[in-house]
Structure 1
Amino acid sequence: MKLSRFARLVCLLIAGIMLAACQRHDEAAPWQLTDISGHMPDLSFRLTDDQGKAVTAADYHGKVTLLYFGYTHCPDVCPLTLAHLHVVMQRLGNLADGARILFVSVDPSRDTPEALHAYANAFDPRVVGLTGAPSDIESLTKRYRAAFSREPDKSGGSYDVSHSSGIYIFDANGHARLLATPEDSQDKLIHDLHLLLSPGGAT
């Protein structure tokens, strides 16, 4: 699929974040994903979950959370990414019970809580769909330097939404720790999530 100018800018933005966050790797560095500790704010939001319940970041305190922006009508990257994360959760075994994947819709006009619930549960029980007012979603994407944009309508009134594809990983205290991309291998994700999910976690 040919990338639009917006999509190319999003890719450059994500690349810039990763370069800015990268620290010099040495033998003592535990992470295989991009370390964003100190480069991103703590997890904070006020949205509606896929059960129709108002939730905040505090509701996920004590869980390692993976924050991902997407939408249920996404034709490619969203389903592939969620399927990728499902396999990661399976491979983590019982440790995965300490994690939640927060799938924030960038298409709130179509993604009702009911639609999000059906979509999220089709991939993994640890995926939680989140939606809310457009202003709240826009504020959250800006908080983590993500981006999205509605594309022109197609015939029949359907449309796509271009969006960045970073996976933001927060520790059990809500501190931003890692940035992954859909291209990162399952082994890298499993390695770093294992560190965060193990008793005591990674400091």
Structure 2
Amino acid sequence: MRKALPVFLIVLIAVLAGAFTFNFWRDRSKGDDAPFGGPFQLVATNGQPITEEAFRTHPSAIFFGFTHCPDVCPTTLFELDGWLKQLGPEGEPIRAYFVTVDPERDTVETMKSYVGNVSDRIIGITGEPDKMAAMLKFHHVYFRKVPSENGETGDYTMDHTASIFLLDAKGRFRGTIAYGEKPDTALEKLKRLAAG
């Protein structure tokens, strides 16, 4: 029985990875001109409604995370802000977004405070849990609530995709910046994105 468990886990991981890849490329097969993701109606940190059109008017760098994240999210947002500052006027076309995977805790005010402490270039996005779940599914973002190890009721963390998604000015998927990507590589990707 012990020998079967690792094989089972390997098969499960392969099936999940295959399903993700199939769904991603099925959506991409609509054609290179098809925008990535799907429709949504959420709220930005300025309190105004935001829809998928925000991702289809400018090049976009989109990071999915949550405000209670201990290291990956603050590090990524800090790096993204730094890269945009390094690009200067060259990076001005890019709009950067931080989309929550934890809408139960990440209210508009929470997101506004959190993002505002890191950057004035990054816009936070949140909304009702069911609307957020649909938006995350459209964008093929992995997220899962993980109960806290200390067993406290209601205490949890979130597993989630940790890459920055890059979309061109028509909302088409143009790549990612991985967590821990070399700064020079990340900057080059953002330069290409900004240049169109």
Query: Which residue does the alignment assign to 1:76?
Result: 71
Larger Rg: 2
Matched, 1:192 2:186: no
What whole-Å deviation, never above 9, does each CA across 1:106-154 have from its counterpart, x for those lacking one? 1111111111011112122111110112122212222222211111144
More deviation in 78-87 or 38-47? 38-47
Matched, 1:42 2:42: no
Which SS does the other structure have where 2:92 is aligned? Answer: helix
Residue 182 of structure 1 aligns to which amino acid in structure 2? Y
Distance 2:92 2:185 in 1: 19
Distance 2:153 2:71 in 1: 20
- Pick one of 51, 56, 60 that aligns with 1:56: 51
Q: How large is the Cα RMSD of the aligned pairs?
A: 2.8
Which SS does the other structure have where 2:181 is aligned? Answer: coil
Query: Which residue does the alignment assign to 1:181?
Result: 178
- Pick one of 83, 101, 110 that aligns with 2:105: 110
Q: In the superposition, relative to structure 1, how do residues 140 and 161 fare at CA in structure 2: closer, same or farther (>3 Å)?
A: same
Structure 1 position 156, deviation (Å): 6.4
Residue 108 of structure 2 aligns to which amino acid in structure 1? P
Distance 2:46 2:192 in 1: 30
Residues 1-203 of structure 1 aligned to structure 2 (within 5 Å): 13=17, 17=21, 38=32, 41-44=35-38, 45-153=40-148, 154-155=151-152, 157-198=154-195, 201=196
Residue 197 of structure 1 aligns to which amino acid in structure 2? A
Instruction: State whether residues 71 and 78 of structure 1, in contact with CA within 8 Å, keep that contact through their aligned partners in structure 2.
Output: yes
Give the gaps of 5 or more residues in structure 1.
Answer: 22-36
Q: In the superposition, relative to structure 1, how do residues 60 and 142 fare at CA in structure 2: closer, same or farther (>3 Å)?
A: closer
Which SS does the other structure have where 1:104 is aligned? Answer: strand
Structure 1 position 62, deviation (Å): 3.0
TM-score normalised by the chain length of structure 1: 0.74
Instruction: State whether residues 40 and 144 of structure 1, in contact with CA within 8 Å, keep that contact through their aligned partners in structure 2.
Output: no
Which SS does the other structure have where 1:151 is aligned? Answer: strand
Q: In the superposition, relative to structure 1, how do residues 158 and 80 fare at CA in structure 2: closer, same or farther (>3 Å)?
A: same
Give the gaps of 5 or more residues in structure 2.
Answer: 1-8, 26-30
Residue 187 of structure 2 aligns to which amino acid in structure 1? I
Distance 2:155 2:33 in 1: 37
TM-score normalised by the chain length of structure 2: 0.77
Structure 1 position 103, deviation (Å): 0.8
Which SS does the other structure have where 2:156 is aligned? Answer: coil
Residue 161 of structure 1 aligns to which amino acid in structure 2? M
Tell me: higher relative CO, structure 1 or 2? Use CA pairs within 8 A at least 6 residues apart: 1
Instruction: State whether residues 41 and 175 of structure 1, in contact with CA within 8 Å, keep that contact through their aligned partners in structure 2.
Output: yes
Aligned residue pairs total: 174
